[in-house]
Structure 1
Amino acid sequence: MVHTTAPACSPNIAILGAGAIGQLMYHQLCHTSPNQPSHDVVLISRQSHTQLQPLRFTDIKGQIHNTDAVLLGTKDPRLNEVKLLLVCVKAYQVEEALIPLLSKLSPQCHIILLHNGLGPHIAVSTALRPYPEQGLTLGTTSLAALAINQWHIKHTGVGVTQLGHYCGHPLANHLHARIQAIASQEQPVEWHQPVLAVLWQKLAVNAVINPLTALHQCANGQLADDEYREQITLIINELVAVAQCDGIELDPTLLTERVYKVIALTSANFSSMYQDVTHHRTTEIDYINGYICQRAQHHKLNVPVNQCLATKVASLS
């Protein structure tokens, strides 16, 4: 049951996007920082008013935790206290959800984008120009969570979270430490500078697994079959050529090995794009293969395999 009376809180860290990953980051930040004040971490609501929302979290060991989370309303003046904002919405939602909030956040707020694909960082970095003391970090995570229902998530997979400063003021040391506190041997947090090369490597994994599983309606492991090998090679070679024009040097052999390693490690999984297509939801194709095509067009390169995949998936969603 939602409590509609405005709860007391002093929001130091906020999470925009209360889906499975957003709630997972919320729980991890809360549970790894027991000495922080109550409601130091909040979720940002789509509603204008602030409310208290009971959350349930099943951790990786199967233990259940119940928490009352503050859903900070978009008209709550305490948005001005937020020093760190983790953006965990889908790539195609980033601009619409984030940019109207920039003027309401602390003038020194640091923003972390944590979504699949590439592209939103360009619009966000432009939108941040009027706010010279704010900063932007880009990241990606292979942590996995499953939504049991809207307000109950289950932590289903450990993995690495990779982050790196992109523009504006760097992340303050005490906030860096809060993010680092979620790290463990099973789920390391890595910091990379420059960060874009890491995100292009993750883009390669997504550019192979997401559209092929969505189009062939299969689990990730099926892509290890020989029938997909030539197409996977072409996807990667096109991506490497585009990345090179963007100043990012990638080794196609190492990238191919990485893609097949992820296919093996996640063989029983169904990709997010497979699930989006199955449930008739909007996909992030424009920010995965579509981003490769967009940058290729900028550099006057042809990427027929990625273009074909982007077109086919777009027609399904």
Structure 2
Amino acid sequence: MVKTSLLPPSSTHDSHRLIAILGAGAIGQLMYHKLTVCSPTPEVDDVMFIGRDKQTRQQKLDFINDKQQCHKALATILGTEDNRLAQVELLLVCVKAYQVELALIPLLTKLSPQCHIVLLHNGLGPHFSVAAALAKHQGLTLGTTSQAALKQNQWQVKHSGFGVTQLGHFSGPLMPTALKMRLNNLHSDHQPIEWHQPVLPVLWQKLAINAVINPLTALNQCANGQLAATQYQAQIAAIIGELVQVAQCDGINLDKAALSARVYQVIALTSANFSSMYQDVAHGRPTEIHEINGYICQQAKAHQLDVPQNQALLERVLRLSKPNNINSTSLK
């Protein structure tokens, strides 16, 4: 059974805990602003990014909220040789799924042995290698968010969609209550933050949404809403059916009808959006296909199952995602 809980508002007593964010993309910057703009003590510099350079620097950021109000901030980007890395108590990892191991694992020895790690990315897979690499006192929480942000430029993001952030413990020590309370600032603007135990069923549900919307929009060069058309129904049903079967072999029981309804609900709610995979392909960037449909194929192989729809999507997106296969000017 999945247990869900909401935490009460955080107190100022718990606010002075150093939180770092690895990954300054749209979601990383959104997390930063929600943890600072909505902080009970916004003057305290207790949320920082971790950069790729050795030296620490300051960076001006702009955040446009849903009311079109602009908040300006001067963020600290910790260098990889900054001693303050050892003071980080909570690290939010907001890089792309295929970047997680390369970006995070070399940092682990520089972090506190008690630092708690939170993975926030599309797809599944990196959690296995991260859990294996953590020190025995470093806990791992997995999560997903349906909040949306759009990068106007490298250091300006706009809050472009409401949603829920779902988190749950995966391995190692549990996240201390004080840090959970600190994360409650993600609950601002009536954006729910939920804690689930076990967490994997929630992530498999999100995987189903991504396994349908991401590759199909990338391959058909369309907005999410176009997937509601009759021509996609059989393919969507097959993708979900294969995923449900693989998940069951992994010990995750999903209701196919409820999952299908949720996928179509998200298609409707995000009808005007272009998926992250569509945008990655359009710009000639790597995609997260290995951690989405590829993860389904990987687990299916382990259970000696055939998943022809997901396998075909994996292969087609890998061919499509070579640079310049889609002209970047087609991105709307």
Normalising by structure 2, report the TM-score: 0.90
Aligned residue for 1:276, secondary structure, equals helix
Deviations 1:48-72 (A, max 9, x none): 1001111111111111111110000
Aligned-residue RMSD, C-alpha: 1.1
Q: Which residue of 2 aligns with 1:202?
A: 206
Deviations 1:151-198 (A, max 9, x none): 111111110000000000111111100112221464100110000000
Paired AA for residue 83 in structure 1:
E
Any conservation in 1 of the 2:38–2:188 contact (CA below 8 Å)?
A: no
Q: Which residue of 282, 285, 289 corresponds with 1:285?
A: 289
Q: Which residue of 1 aligns with 2:264?
A: 260
Q: Which residue of 2 aligns with 1:19?
A: 25
Task: Indicate the percent of aligned positions where both proteins have the same amino acid.
Answer: 65
Aligned residue for 2:287, secondary structure, equals coil
Aligned residue for 2:186, secondary structure, equals coil
Over 3 Å counting, the alpha-carbon distance change for 1:28 and 1:64 in structure 2 is same
Any conservation in 2 of the 1:11–1:78 contact (CA below 8 Å)?
A: no
2:216 and 2:304 mapped to 1: Cα distance?
A: 25
Q: Which residue of 133, 137, 147 corresponds with 2:141?
A: 137
The 5 Å alignment of 1:91-170 reads: 91-128=97-134, 131-170=135-174
Unmatched runs of 5 consecutive residues or more in structure 2: 1-15, 322-332
1:38 partnered with 2:44: yes
1:66 partnered with 2:72: yes
Any conservation in 2 of the 1:140–1:163 contact (CA below 8 Å)?
A: yes
Q: Which residue of 2 aligns with 1:274?
A: 278
2:212 and 2:22 mapped to 1: Cα distance?
A: 28
Q: Which residue of 2 aligns with 1:237?
A: 241
Distance apart, 1:295 and its partner CA: 0.4
Any conservation in 2 of the 1:201–1:255 contact (CA below 8 Å)?
A: yes
1:39 and 1:211 mapped to 2: Cα distance?
A: 40
Aligned residue for 1:314, secondary structure, equals helix
2:200 and 2:277 mapped to 1: Cα distance?
A: 22
Paired AA for residue 61 in structure 1:
K
1:254 and 1:151 mapped to 2: Cα distance?
A: 39
Paired AA for residue 78 in structure 2:
L
Over 3 Å counting, the alpha-carbon distance change for 1:285 and 1:97 in structure 2 is same
Distance apart, 1:206 and its partner CA: 0.3
Unmatched runs of 5 consecutive residues or more in structure 1: 1-9
Number of residue equivalences: 306
Structure with more contact order per residue of length (Cα contacts < 8 Å, sep ≥ 6): 2
Normalising by structure 1, report the TM-score: 0.95
Q: Which residue of 1 aligns with 2:179?
A: 175
1:81 partnered with 2:106: no
Give runs of ≥4 in structure 1 deviating > 6 Å.
none
Distance apart, 1:38 and its partner CA: 2.1
Any conservation in 1 of the 2:34–2:188 contact (CA below 8 Å)?
A: no
Distance apart, 1:36 and its partner CA: 6.0
Any conservation in 2 of the 1:159–1:186 contact (CA below 8 Å)?
A: no
Distance apart, 1:132 and its partner CA: 1.1
